[in-house]
Amino acid sequence: MNKEELELIQNTIDYHFDNDDLLQQAFTRRSYTEENGSENNEVLEFIGDKALDIVVMKVLMKRFGHITDGDYQEFKTKYDEGKFTEIKKELVERKMLSRCIDNLGFNQYLIMGKGDKKKNVQEEESVKEDLFEAIVGAVAIDSDWDFNAIEEVVKMMLDFNAFFNKKENEIEYVQEVQEWSQKNHNELPNYSFYETYDGYNCTLYLPGINYRFDSNAKSKAGARFLAAKEAYEYLDYNDLLYNMEDEVGEPDYERAINQLQELYQKGFINKPEYVFEEEQDYSGNSIWVCTCYINGIDEKFTNESSSKKESKKDSAYDMVCYLLERSNPNEEDNYYEEDEWDD
């Protein structure tokens, strides 16, 4: 990684290394060191795994436990051991840590050997989980086990409030802004933080946008969420967010059915529906008539063919062209024929 990338990662987690070689090591997989020498991130993963457990336990106990009043001041918790085990497992499971790395966009900076690159292992959940833990481990070593520093980094990478409050949008705003930044400029958003009298301020800069987004909250994660939300709303207001064409590309006749399904899965449209009717021509051969419609879309498209599959594909392609505001090059212009018939 170059210095700019190292600095961007440190800004994102709001921890600046005294020895940034440790951060570089956290991103280095064994496959690279087997080909080129030096150290990899496996021991840092081990360290980070243990440090993460301690932070999660502290957060759980602080959130759900307290010292009782009275003569006997005992530690009392809302849940029993079994429930805490369940919550902890969900917080540190592979899927959760992998999703956090996706939200941060860090897996693109992994330093890998040729075999790993060929297999695109940076997209595997286990690899992203390892990266999460290695970063925490690197912070632990660099800070000489400063628990406050470790805890703050974990809270920046793993948004506990979003998890406990089930506020899906908190992760969504950060992730949407990050994906926009990478797709349009191949860069990560740039976050910076400073402490205020009542919490934290977060300033967010997006590449290519001559505007800064400032927000304040009691926690760093909360300030980041508000800044990302402000940036998302700015992009939305100025029509700079993803559109349907970004997701599926130009209308493609052979992929039209799949393109509609992709748009549905991405949340741009309701589920495409197809209605078929079988008719016969003058010779008694089957003619399939397919109508494609989508709830919430005014237009419907009907096509016929001797093949059921082709009639569906024709109707889906017409719908894709309509949604992406493209003309259908396969559509015959019957304007003059209709006029001549009318005459």
Catalytic residues, which ones?
Answer: 49, 133
How many CA within 13 A on the CB side of residue 80? 1
69: Cβ contacts below 8 Å, ≥ 6 apart: none
* Contact status, residue 41 vs residue 48, Cβ threshold 8 Å: no
Q: CA 308, 310, 312 angle in degrees (round to 5)?
A: 70
Q: What share of the chain is helix, strand, coil (3-state, %, to 5)?
A: 55, 15, 30
The count of other CB atoms within 10 Å of the CB of residue 219 is 16
Q: Strand 75-77 and strand 286-294: pairing? A: unpaired
Hey, which residues does 195 pair with through a beta bridge? 200
* Contact status, residue 231 vs residue 206, Cβ threshold 8 Å: yes
Distance of CA 32 to the CA centre of its chain: 26
Distance of CA 52 to the CA centre of its chain: 22
The secondary structure of residue 212, as a DSSP letter, is E
Which of 36, 35, 14, 38 shows the shortest CA–CA distance to 26? 38
* Token couple for 322: 């309509």
